[in-house]
Structure 1
Amino acid sequence: MKQSLQLKIGQQLTMTPQLQQAIRLLQLSTLDLQQEIQEALDTNPMLEVNEEEHSSTAEDASGLNGEAPKNDTDTNNDTDNPTADTTEPGTAASEDSGATPEDTADGDWNEEIPNDLPVDTSWEDVYQTTSSGSSLPSDGDDNDFETRRGTTDSLQDHLTWQLNLTPMSDSDRLIATAIIDAVDASGMLTITIEEIYQGLQATFEELELDEVMAVLHRVQQFDPVGVASQDLSECLLLQLRQLPADTPLLDAAKLIVSDYLGLLGSRDYKQLMRRAKLKEPELRDAVQLIQRLNPRPGDSISSGDIEYVVPDVFVSKQEDRWSVQLNPDIAPRIRINPDYASLVKRADTSTDNTFLRDNLQEARWFLKSLQSRNETLLKVASCIVEKQRGFLDFGAEAMKPLVLHDVAEDVGMHESTISRVTTQKYMHTPQGIFELKYFFSSHVSTDSGGECSSTAIRAIIRKLVAAENPKKPLSDSKITTLLADQGIKVARRTIAKYRESLGIPASNERKRLV
C-alpha cells in the first residue's frame, strides 16, 4: 500500500482559553463566584481588593468595582429589546482598575501582550501558572461566620450529654449507650428493643429484657420528648403524657393514638367516631391536639447544612418603571494593582518580568470575564422582567409562557448561554426571591386561542385547593372542570402531576373535620 501526504480543508468549532474562562465564570453561582474571586486574589499578586469608596454615578456603574449597574424597563414602552438603554457594566471600570497602560510607568508594555490567545492553546502553554493557594482568609474577619456560629451537635451527642448528667449504674449506662446508638436522626429506634437485648447478652450474661426496657423508659424521658420511640404510636403517646392532666380531651387523644391511629391516618372519621365513642366536636378537638405533636422529635435537634440564597439581581418598581439592578455585594471590589502593573518593562525577558507580565495578562482576562458575566446577567434579567411584567404586578397567576429560545433571540445569544446564566442565579422581586429558571415554563392552549403558562396553572390549582371545602375536597376531575370553565383545557392526569409537584395530597387525604 503506497503512502502519500494529502491536504484537506475543514472547519471545526474551538474555544479560546479566554472564552473557556468566561463560560466557566458565567455558570458559577454567587457563592462559588465569591470563592473563585478569593482564590484569584490569593494566587495572583496583580489583583487586589479595591477598598476605596466610590460614588454611585454612571461612571462607577460596574460590577467589577462593586457598584451594580442598573437597567430601567419602562412599563409604558413596548420595545422589542429591553436592554437597549442598559448601562453597560464595566465601561469605566477599566479606567479605574489600574489595568490600563496609561496608568503605568511604561505604557507601551501592552504592545507585547496579545488580546487573544490562539484557539489551540491553553493557559499553561503560554503563561506560567501560580501555585494554587488556599482560598481561606488569613486574617480574623467574619468570613467564617457559618462555621463559628453553626451548631455541629447531633442528636446522639445531645442524648449522650444528658446521659452523662443522669445518675446511673455502669451496666445501665452501657445499655443506654446502646439504645442511643440505635436512634436515627428523626429520633426513632432503627432496631427493635429485642435486637438491642440480644446484642447486649454477649456482654451481660445475666441481663434480662425487663432491665433493657427500664433503661429505655429512662432514655425516653430525655429531651426532645418522644425520642427513642419504637413506633409512631409510642412517640405520640410519650408526648401526650407530658401534657398537663387537665388538658381537654387528653384521654380521647391517647385512645386514638394507641388504638385507632390507622383509622386517623386514612381519615375514616365515621368509623373512628363509632369505635372511640366520640362525637364530631370532640373528635375534631382531639385530632387538633394530636396534630400539634411532633412525629419526628429528633428534627428539632439535628442540625443540617444551612443554605443561604443570595440574590444576584434586584427588581423594584420606581414611578411605574421596573428597575433592574445587579446586587453590588455578590463579589468583592477588585482591581489591578497599579504599582505592580507599572513594574512590567518592555522587551525585558527576565524571569521576574515574565512572571509579572503573565500574571498581569491573566488578571486582565479575569476582570474582563467578570465584566462579561455581569453584562450577560443584566441583559438576561432585564429581558425576563420585560416579558414577565404581569407576574411582577399580579403574581404567579399572571405568569406568561417563556422558553429559553425567546430570551436568546431578544438578547442575541445562544440558548446554552441563557441556560448557564439562569442556573443557580436568583432574582429578588416584590413577589419574593426566585431562581431565574422559575420564570421559564411551558404553555397550554386556551379556548380563546391564547396561551397559559404551566406556572400560572399551578398557582390556580393552589388557589382552588386553598378555598375548597375541607369536608368535601376537590378531586382532580373537579379541578379539571373548574379550569375548563376558565377556558383552560388540561387533562386530569396533568392536574394530578401539577398537584403532586406542589406537594398537595390527593382529595381523600385532604379531607378533614371542620
Structure 2
Amino acid sequence: MTLTARLTQSQRQNLGFRQIQAVNLLLLSNEALAEDLMRRAAANPFLRLRLPPQSTALIEDQGESECGLYAHVIGQLRMIGAARADEALATAFVEALDGNGWLDRSLAEIAASTGRSPAAATTMLTAIQQEIEPVGLFARGLSDCLRLQAADRGQLTPAMEAVLCHLEAVASGGVAALVQATGMPPEVVALCLAQIRRMDPRPGLAFGGPPAPLRAPDIIVSRGAEGWQIALNRATLPVLTLAPGREGAAGLRAVRAEAEWLASIVERRNRTVLAVARAVLARQRGFLDHGPGALMALSRSDIAARLGLHDSTVGRVARDLLVETPQGLRTLSSLFDSGPTRGNGTAATAIRYRLGQIVATEDPRAPYDDAALAALLRREGKPLARRTVAKYREELGIPARNQRLRT
C-alpha cells in the first residue's frame, strides 16, 4: 500500500513538472528558446539541434560604439552592482524602456517576466534610478521622472511633492488650479514650477528617437501578393529534430521518450506563437496599413476566445515577442490596448497619436484648449471627456493651451 502511494505521487509530480516546462517554453523568444534547447540537447543524445545563423545578442556583447538609448544604459548598467548581480532582471528593465526613457511596463510585469518577486524588482529599480545618468531614466511616468530629478537637485520639498502630485491641475486650469489643488501660496507654486521647467521630463529623447532593440524580431510581417504575410523569423528560430535509430538499452527508453516529448512541445510552442501573432495582427490590420493612429482596442481575452486558448496563455506568448512590421519593431503585447470609453473601438494609443497630430497642425496664435480638442475628437468618432484629453495631452508632453499660445 505504501509503495503504491509513493509511485502515484511520483507520477503526479512528473506530470506537473512537464506542464511547467511546456508553459515556460511559451515565455521564450526565439533566441531564448535556442539557448534553452542548447542545454537540453547537450544532455540528451537523441536530440539534434540546428541553431540559426544569427547569434544571440546578450548585454555583454553590445558594442561600445553603438549609439542610442539602449547602448547608453547598457554601458552604465555594467557599473551598477545590483544590475551585474542579476543581469536577467536588469535586461528586463532595459527592454521595458520607451523612447522617453520611462518604463512602459509595471514592476509586476517586469518581475513576472524573469520569475523574480515584485520586491526584488523594486530593489533593482531603486538601485538603477539612484545611479543611472541622466537622472530620470527608468522613471515610471512623468511625475516620477521629475521627482527623481528634484531629489537629485535637493529640491524635493513638501511643496514640490505636492505640485508633482497635482500636475494634471496645471493642464486643466493653469497655475490658479494648481494653487487651489495644493493649497499653497501662489509664489511657492510658481517657484516649484520654475524649478520644474529647468528639468528634463523626457531624458530618453536626447538619444535620438526610440531605443534600438536588444535582439532580432521573433515574428516578421511582410506584404505579399495575397495581403499581409505573418511568419516566424527563421533567422532566429532553432530547429529541433530526433536522432535516427532506436533507444536500444532499456535504460535509454526514458531519455528517448523525453526527447520525443520535447520535440512535440517545441513544435506546439511554434504553432501557438504563430497563431497568436496572426490573430492579433489580423485584428490590427489597420495599424499595419496606416500606423499607430489606426490601432483598435484589443484584449487578450478577445484573442483567447478566438483561438480557444486561456487568457494567460495568450499573455505569456505575447509578453516578450518582438514583431517586425512596416510601422517599425514592436512587442506583440504593445498591440493590445484598451479603449478609453466603453464601446469605443479605438485604442487609447491611437487616440493619443491623433491628439498629437491635431496639436501639431493647430494655429499657434489660436491653439485649442482641452474642451476644443475633445470636441474635435468627438466629431471623428472618438468621444472623450475633457479630463481624459488633458490626461492624454500631459502623457504626450504637450503643454496646456496658455503655454502653447504664440502672439
Q: TM-score surpassing 0.5?
A: yes
Paired position in structure 2 for 1:23: 23
Greater RCO, 1 or 2 (C-alpha within 8 Å, sep 6+): 1
Paired position in structure 2 for 1:46: 46
Q: Which of these residues, 268, 272, 280, is aligned with residue 384 of structure 1?
A: 280
Structure 1 residues 16 and 184 mapped into 2: Cα distance closer, same or farther (>3 Å)?
closer
Structure 1 residues 148 and 402 mapped into 2: Cα distance closer, same or farther (>3 Å)?
closer
Q: Which of these residues, 355, 378, 389, is aligned with residue 461 of structure 1?
A: 355
Structure 1 residues 377 and 407 mapped into 2: Cα distance closer, same or farther (>3 Å)?
same
Q: CA separation in 2, counterparts of 1:144 and 1:404?
A: 29
> Do residues 435 (structure 1) and 316 (structure 2) align?
no
Deviations 1:159-217 (A, max 9, x none): xxxxxxxxxxxxxxxxxxxxxxxx975489xxxxxxxxxxxxxxxxxxxxxxxxxxxxx
Q: CA separation in 2, counterparts of 1:496 and 1:403?
A: 25
Q: Which of these residues, 218, 226, 245, is aligned with residue 312 of structure 1?
A: 218
Q: Which runs of 5+ in 1 are unaligned?
A: 1-11, 52-65, 68-140, 158-182, 189-229, 233-260, 268-289
SS in structure 2 of the partner of residue 489 of structure 1: coil
Paired position in structure 2 for 1:271: none
Q: CA separation in 2, counterparts of 1:409 and 1:143?
A: 34
Q: How much has 1:315 moved relative to structure 2? A: 1.4
Structure number having the greater helix percentage? 2
> Do residues 335 (structure 1) and 238 (structure 2) align?
no
SS in structure 1 of the partner of residue 346 of structure 2: strand
TM-score, with length taken from structure 2: 0.56
Q: CA separation in 1, counterparts of 2:354 and 2:212?
A: 32
Q: CA separation in 2, counterparts of 1:468 and 1:15?
A: 62
Q: Is the 8 A contact 1:29 1:424 kept in 2?
A: yes
Q: CA separation in 1, counterparts of 2:278 and 2:326?
A: 15
TM-score, with length taken from structure 1: 0.46
Q: How much has 1:372 moved relative to structure 2? A: 0.6
Q: How much has 1:370 moved relative to structure 2? A: 0.9
Q: Is the 8 A contact 1:474 1:507 kept in 2?
A: no
Paired position in structure 1 for 2:315: 419
Q: Percent identity?
A: 30
SS in structure 2 of the partner of residue 452 of structure 1: coil
Amino acid at match of 1:468: E
Q: Which of these residues, 360, 364, 367, is aligned with residue 263 of structure 2?
A: 367
Q: How much has 1:424 moved relative to structure 2? A: 0.8
Q: Which runs of 5+ in 2 are unaligned?
A: 1-11, 65-73, 80-129, 136-152, 156-190
Q: How much has 1:361 moved relative to structure 2? A: 1.8
Structure 1 residues 320 and 463 mapped into 2: Cα distance closer, same or farther (>3 Å)?
farther
Q: Is the 8 A contact 2:28 2:320 kept in 1?
A: yes
Deviations 1:72-126 (A, max 9, x none): xxxxxxxxxxxxxxxxxxxxxxxxxxxxxxxxxxxxxxxxxxxxxxxxxxxxxxx
Q: How much has 1:474 moved relative to structure 2? A: 3.7
Q: CA separation in 2, counterparts of 1:512 and 1:388?
A: 36
Amino acid at match of 1:329: A
Amino acid at match of 2:242: I
Amino acid at match of 1:372: R
- Greater CA radius of gyration, 1 or 2? 1
Counting only pairs closer than 5 Å after superposition, residues 139-158 of structure 1 correspond to structure 2 as 147=60, 150-151=63-64
Aligned length: 279
Q: CA separation in 2, counterparts of 1:390 and 1:265?
A: 42
Deviations 1:356-399 (A, max 9, x none): 33322222211111111111111111112222222211222222
Q: Is the 8 A contact 2:31 2:56 kept in 1?
A: no
